[in-house]
Structure 1
Amino acid sequence: MYKPGEIVCDYKIIEFMSQGGFSQIYKAYDPNGQLVILKFPDVSLLGDLATYERFRREVTIGQKLNHPAIPRVITFKEGSDCVLLALDYIEGKSLRTYISENAPLPLDKVLSLSDQLTEVIEYLHSNKVYHRDLKPENIIVGPDEKIHILDFGSALLEGSRRVTWRWGSNAFGTPDYMAPEQIQGKRGDSRTDVYALGMIVFEMLTGTLPFHGDNALSVMNQHLTAVPVSPRKLQPSVPPGIEAVVLKSIRRDPEKRYQSASAFRYDLQHYAELDLSQFQLEPEPSASGMLTDRQIWLRSILIFFAFLGVAALLVLVVYLMHHR
């Protein structure tokens, strides 16, 4: 990890910002003294070609996009001693912080932020890009309350070949916001992003999420099998039309969700005019599809030991790299 004041590839590190799934993110000054965001591939994963290809894919996607809510790619450096991606710095706070400070948000704020989010996702999808890791931590709310979407490390460019991370699976995303098809290892599409958007809108409306658990596996199992709680049960002031739209966006079956961000956006804008009799409730799952608490516990134990094994292997790889 780099320290504040350290010069790396001609950039002066200001502070560490976050650790992504495949990269480390810093706030820094460029050689001209301008603030930027720097992303470095995780050094422990640089030996994995699939991980490196995902980093390169993020660069390709960033250079393809041109939208005020998406940080501009300034430069990509690739050399034997320097691999980084420099992006425009975005001033503001994460939507996670914004929700924590203000939730449940007033309806007008929810609708304003949701409209901006769905508009940006419409733009991504029109360019055949699927984010696949939408969550409040990856969304910045600026001082003017304009939103910006960050971190395209898990994004998919339609038509790109499948690459598999050798330490894991094809299931990308964050458990609280992952669509069922992602959890099942599918690549995902526009409806996958719609599901995550629905979860974010649900959280802005109520201050919480529909599914909770002691561990990631428990939450993921609920995405696959449970019926989400009614937003109006948690927050009675939520209009019935808004509730119907949000619940449709997070249906388990992607065929029964909104098929596009634009359709989701339209119904949010016109929630008061909707015929609610046309909105079906999520059916209760069959008993055969449910996992018992014991099954969830056993899977959690297996995943825990699997992660321990991976961590030990990564430590060994890093040790060998530095003691050749």
Structure 2
Amino acid sequence: MAKDGFTPNALAVQLGQFSQAGLKGQRNQDFFGATVPDGSALRLKGVTVAIADGISPSPVSHEAAEIAVKSLMTDYYATTDAWGVQTAASNVISATNSWLYGLNRRSMPERAELGHICTLSALILKGHTAHILHVGDSRVWRITGSSLEPLTNDHVTPVPGSRPQLSRGLGLNQHIAVDYRELRVQPGDVFLLTTDGVHEYWQPKDVLTTIESASTLDDAAATIAEACRNAGSHDDLTVQIVRVEALPESEQLTDLVPDNLPLLPLPEPGTSLDGFRIVRKIHENNRSHIFLAIAPDGKKVALKMPASETKSDPAQLRRFLMEEWIARRLSSPHVLRAAEAPEQRSGLYVLTEFIEGQTLRQWMRDNPHPTIKEVRDLAHQMILGLRAFHRKDMLHQDFRPENLMIDSDGTVKIIDLGSTRVQGVEEGQARPDDAILGTLQYTAPEYFVGDPPGPYSDQFSLGVVIYEMLTGRLPYGADAARVSNRRDRARLRYRPAVDAENAVPYWIDDTLRRATHPLGHRRFTALSEMDRALTVPSPGSRSHARRPLAERDPVRFWQTISAVLFLIVLILLARL
């Protein structure tokens, strides 16, 4: 441990908490909790602080508050490490809401105000970011300079002559909308979580003075609550104070993958490495060398070792190390699987299944004029593979024909996970990786202009690949790879897949036009929607069944125009 009991190069916080029932003998309907894990859980999940407030009329709302906080404290840490904070926490909160709503429907369907209903506000600190999730009228605050800045908005409806009524809370409706926001943090930042019995009565200046002068944050929380009681609050009082003491300074992967292993020389065919017999080298590029090997159980595996360029580049080496970690968290017949690894490795390498087949690039060379049915079948499998990434909050980011394998059974598998962005890991980094990792011709324009990528970015690459399978060219030619700003992006013009050489159905061309739109929000909202559009023409597409020749075949259009003009010139010359 480092000075003051904090682990070096790790997130560290100080906590202060206090809670008290309102009237004497009354049950406290507030509930609060905090979890400060260590190791990989601290890096990948962060510190969680949460507060909940049950509604006053209900005799069981204290149970709802306890369930809401305890569920978040436990279930959030049980979600996959690949998920980002928003995805993981929102899923847990939605599941808790469904449970509470179900209790209410069974026990008191006609008196919801007497059921399991509560507010929930949560602060999750991870890496250099604070994530705020909120439902109801409890609040999260941040001390900014000499003032208290509210980070949440109350979900209440005004009621004349009475207290506002909760308009959004856990257990109130079948589906819950969770407010979310994130902000960067610095050492010394202070956050507060409070229920309405506190923030409706406190004096902000006194709160700041109390936190600055108190010997501990627990004392500060108790003093703030006592001041609110003296100011006339008869409600339950709960205060949580969080001070950020330290933030991680670098991206260390020792708790995720074994990055302390030595770099080995490339093995020769016939030699053995940790029980794996090397058969031959099957591929190499500037990032890695891949060997076909036989595992101790006799199965064929691919053994991948970093190339010299990767060894000398810390960022590339980190991505290489993450490939097997990512493969072990994806489960799809259309994504490369990790192979069983030895308990102890003598050096740095990753193991995956060996796929006997060919790349999509080779398939395209062998099938320059595929049928629509063949393309649609392969596209459907690609979509299933990409959906496996997106469900785990991952983006492949290098989706291209060379990174797609078709095995001997005709199954498409997405390979090369070295460029994959994992939201859960990305959030824990002090300096997020904003390098453009994909191949330029297939990379979505948002990467080049600095807009945030998303599942729609992989969709762009998918659309380009399908377009190329059908036409042998790219929808924007080389222009998409030259985009460097928003003006360049606005100039991009889609080249219709339909021309004299390619009898692509108009509605499939419409689908590809939308999937490869330069603006992410103009693409399909889900890959399943794109999958259906490749199979069934949408009603809106039918109006384009007879497109103008200029759009269907620009070359023929201008040839026709030129021929007509030439004839007109000949006629005029003849008259002269």
TM-score relative to the length of structure 2: 0.44
Deviation at 1:24, TM superposition (A): 2.3
Taking the aligned partners of 2:362 and 2:450, their CA distance within structure 1 comes to 30
Segments of 5+ residues of structure 1 without an aligned counterpart are 282-324
Counterpart of 2:494?
228
SS of 2:277's partner is strand
Q: Which moved more, 1:226-235 or 1:128-137?
A: 226-235
Offset from partner CA, 1:263-295 (integer Å, 9 cap, x none): 211211212x4312799x9xxxxxxxxxxxxxx
Counterpart of 1:66?
331
Offset from partner CA, 1:39-72 (integer Å, 9 cap, x none): 1122443354333322232222111111112232
CA-atom RMSD in angstroms: 3.0
Counterpart of 2:474?
209
Deviation at 1:79, TM superposition (A): 7.4
Deviation at 1:16, TM superposition (A): 2.3
Taking the aligned partners of 1:32 and 1:80, their CA distance within structure 2 comes to 17
Counterpart of 1:136?
401
Counterpart of 2:440?
175
Offset from partner CA, 1:220-275 (integer Å, 9 cap, x none): 1168443131100264411000000001111111111123222211211212x431
Counterparts of residues 208-287 of structure 1 (less than 5 Å)? 208-213=473-478, 220-221=481-482, 224=489, 225-233=491-499, 235-271=501-537, 273-276=538-541
The structure carrying a bigger helix percent of its residues is 1
TM-score relative to the length of structure 1: 0.75
- Larger relative contact order (CA 8 Å, sep ≥ 6): 1
Offset from partner CA, 1:105-130 (integer Å, 9 cap, x none): 10000111111111221222112121
| The one of 360, 363, 385 aligned to 1:95 | 360
Deviation at 1:158, TM superposition (A): 1.6
SS of 1:233's partner is coil
Amino acid at match of 1:197: L
Offset from partner CA, 1:193-231 (integer Å, 9 cap, x none): 100100111011112223445xxxx65116844313110
Taking the aligned partners of 2:362 and 2:354, their CA distance within structure 1 comes to 18
Q: Which moved more, 1:105-114 or 1:143-152?
A: 143-152
Deviation at 1:20, TM superposition (A): 4.9
Segments of 5+ residues of structure 2 without an aligned counterpart are 1-265, 548-576
Kindly tell me the number of residue pairs found equivalent between the two proteins. Answer: 274
Is the Cα contact below 8 Å between 1:178 and 1:196 reproduced in 2?
yes
SS of 1:198's partner is helix
Counterpart of 1:194?
459
Amino acid at match of 2:399: L
Taking the aligned partners of 1:21 and 1:187, their CA distance within structure 2 comes to 27
The structure carrying a bigger strand percent of its residues is 2
Counterparts of residues 23-38 of structure 1 (less than 5 Å)? 23-38=288-303
Taking the aligned partners of 2:500 and 2:303, their CA distance within structure 1 comes to 40
Is the Cα contact below 8 Å between 2:403 and 2:415 reproduced in 1?
yes
Taking the aligned partners of 1:242 and 1:198, their CA distance within structure 2 comes to 11
Amino acid at match of 2:522: K
Task: Percent identity, please.
Answer: 24
Taking the aligned partners of 1:3 and 1:160, their CA distance within structure 2 comes to 35
Taking the aligned partners of 2:310 and 2:505, their CA distance within structure 1 comes to 47
